[in-house]
Amino acid sequence: MRIGFIGLGSMGVGMSANLIKGGHEVTVWNRTASVAEPLKAQGAKVAASPAEAVQGAEVVHNMLANDAAVREVILGSVLPVLAEGTIHVNHATISVALAQELAETHKARGVGFVSAPVFGRPEVAAAGQLNLLASGAPADVARVQPLLELLAAKVWPMGDDPIRAVVVKIGGNFLIGAAIESMAEAAALTRAHGVDAKDFLEVMQNTLFPAPVYKIYGGMIAADRYEPAGFKLSLGFKDVGLARAAAETKRVPMPVASVLHDAMLESLNRGDGDLDWAGLARVAAARANLKG
């Protein structure tokens, strides 16, 4: 297929590379053009603009940072030039409100829209082992299913409504953030009583919580190592905000989300926004007057 891929951050590079490996004709665009050079060496065409990247494309993927970027690039530059019958696959974590707007604007132009946010870090994306959510019109999802399978260990169908995949992604990221905050607070507690965070978290990772989230982020907390960031704390803060906004529209109380929001805001005020979001542990340690 002829594919346009918009947004080559830490996730998008690996995802677009897997589409190239799958034998597809991929044209990429990124705001910082130099990021695309390794993909060019793998056979990708590099476009000078988003509109150029999607010219003649049968399917367009995007992995942009937030609502503002999706609104600017997709609604402002890409959608107006897409041919009828093209399918746009959105991998970005966006608000429920924007997902609804995208679904409506795409339908009005005769362009398919598939919500396909992902769970996984950059190394997982590069390996083509993401867990990928997919919702949208069944015919659109079926058409892009072979492409999604190049990106994912498993594609999780979420039904016909594009909003469904978006809200599952938002809920999942909230759970990850809550797990990090809980580990951070528990590690501060044990450290205050003389137990090294590594010793405490090793027990948790191998008994009560033998799950990837606890192993990956617990390991980072134990080592007090938050760079390079697989997922920046500033993006985690954005996603907790999306969860709170989605909850408010349905009057769903989320008191833990409010606590997490404030902890992340405190971390951002410390200048930690570019750290991996496991860096929340530094706020928990600072509150307890623990060094390091």
Which residue in 93, 156, 117, 130 sits closest to 212, CA to CA?
130
Strand ranges, E, within the chain: 2-6, 25-29, 45-46, 59-62, 87-90, 112-115, 118-119, 130-136, 152-157
Taking only Cα atoms into account, the Rg of the chain, rounded to an integer number of angstroms, comes to 20
Q: Which amino acid is at 28?
A: V
The four Cα atoms 272, 122, 239, 207 give a dihedral, to 10 degrees, of -90
User: The tokens of 86 are what?
Assistant: 């093209």
What span, in angstroms and rounded, lies between the C-alpha atoms of 23 and 110? 27
Whether 169 is catalytic is: yes
User: The tokens of 59 are what?
Assistant: 């399917």
107, 169, 198, 250: the active-site residue? 169
Which residue in 241, 231, 243 sits closest to 278, CA to CA?
231
Task: Report, as residue numbers or ranges, the catalytic residues.
Answer: 169
